[in-house]
Amino acid sequence: MEIVVLDGFTLNPGDLSWDALRKQGNCKIYDRTAADETLSRIRNAEIVLTNKVIIDRNSMEAAPNMKYIGVLATGYNVVDIAAAKERGITVTNIPAYSTDSVAQMVFSHILAFCNRVELHTASVQNGDWQNGTDFSYTCSLQTEISGKTVGIVGFGQIGQRVAQIARALGMKVLFYNRSVKNIQDENIRQTSLETVFSKSDFVSLNCPLTGDNQQFVNAALLAKMKPSSMLINTGRGGLVNEKDLAEALNTGQIAAAGLDVLSTEPPKADNPLLTAKNCFITPHIAWATIEARTRLMNIAVENINAFLNGKAQNVVS
């Protein structure tokens, strides 16, 4: 059994073990694979694991032994599912492995803006406190989130976890979801998309990217937000019109944005959000805690074991 991992570095930069996977067969693990290297690396593979490397129809045709594609992520748009079905190739993904980690990142961005811990630490290290005359000073407005409203777009597992954390912190919750959710907490209310954006102090995007919601966060929707409000995106960069968001930040239409994802990753140098005011960007790391990556690795191995035993799980093809 030949197993090929095309881009294993982000999952395992060296702090996890591939041993459980290696027990399944002859395992070739590549940190990264360029587009022009894919065909030669999967040519003899029966099992292929990928995170962001595209496996299209041409790739499958070049690998006649391929029986299984394991996507090392929840989203599986990197695989041509229709072509996989035609060729009888099983495709699986890794659902719900990073729910807590992504929800944690939402509040990391919120708290980073409300308290600016790093800004104040830099000030102290620069000698401002030692040389000051007061026992306390601030470099930015300090904001208490208790009593504020967080608006959530997409009320799946991650959105619901964000809501739970928000309630524990004394926040109110508005959410928009395409299907109706039966929620018993009077402080968590389903409403329209426009209401989520106009009434919330923080808006968190926790929905998948589909053909219907590409760049739905645009100038018109941003104009509905409070001037004091913050947009947080830990979903997909393509949900946001980046030019419109940069304009909203630079003109003070909204106060801040916390982004873990961009439309192109790594971003191009001319991405307007890289220089926008009060735009806090992390390099797509919400999923990457050691705990979440360990779960991902374990589920990936379990998926392969289930497939080999004729009881495939987490199938998306």
Q: Is residue 179 part of a domain?
A: yes
Domain CATH for 83: 3.40.50.720
Tell whether omega for the bond before 266 is within 30 degrees of 0, i.e. cis: yes
Q: Known catalytic residues?
A: 236, 265, 284
Q: Is residue 214 part of a domain?
A: yes
What is the pLDDT, as a whole number, of residue 184? 84
Residue 15, classified by CB atoms within 10 Å of its CB into exposed (0-12), middle (13-18) or buried (19+), is exposed
One-character DSSP codes across 132-193: -SSS---SS-----TT-EEEEE--SHHHHHHHHHHHHTT-EEEEE-SS------TTEEE--H
Cα angle for residues 121, 125, 126 (degrees, 5° grid): 115
The reply to whether 168 and 302 lie within a common domain is no
Instruction: Provide the sign of the torsion angle of the four alpha carbons 116, 119, 122, 123, taken in this order.
Output: negative
What is the pLDDT, as a whole number, of residue 119? 95
Domain extent at residue 251: 99-281
Q: Is residue 32 part of a domain?
A: yes
Please state the φ and ψ torsions of residue 249, each to the nearest 5 degrees: -70, -45
The reply to whether 87 and 204 lie within a common domain is no
Q: How far apart are CA 240 and CA 263, in angstroms?
A: 8
The reply to whether 88 and 109 lie within a common domain is no
| Helix (H/G/I), strand (E/B), else coil: 49 | strand
The reply to whether 249 and 118 lie within a common domain is yes
- Is residue 315 within 8 A of residue 71, CB to CB? The reply is no
What is the pLDDT, as a whole number, of residue 249? 98
Domains in the chain: how many in total? 2
What is the pLDDT, as a whole number, of residue 89? 98
The reply to whether 82 and 134 lie within a common domain is no
The reply to whether 166 and 275 lie within a common domain is yes
Q: What is the pLDDT tens value at each position of the chain, 317 positions in all?
A: 999 999 999 999 999 999 999 999 999 999 999 999 999 999 999 999 999 999 999 999 999 999 999 999 998 989 999 999 999 999 999 999 999 999 999 999 999 999 999 999 999 999 999 999 999 999 999 999 999 999 999 999 999 999 999 999 999 999 999 999 988 888 999 999 999 999 999 999 999 998 899 999 999 999 999 999 999 999 999 999 999 999 999 999 999 999 999 999 999 999 999 999 999 999 999 999 999 999 999 999 999 999 999 999 999 99
The reply to whether 185 and 270 lie within a common domain is yes
What is the pLDDT, as a whole number, of residue 306? 97
Q: How far apart are CA 94 and CA 82, in angstroms?
A: 19
Please state the φ and ψ torsions of residue 257, each to the nearest 5 degrees: -140, 140
Residue 11, classified by CB atoms within 10 Å of its CB into exposed (0-12), middle (13-18) or buried (19+), is buried
Q: Is residue 314 part of a domain?
A: no
Q: How far apart are CA 310 and CA 317, in angstroms?
A: 15
The reply to whether 32 and 155 lie within a common domain is no
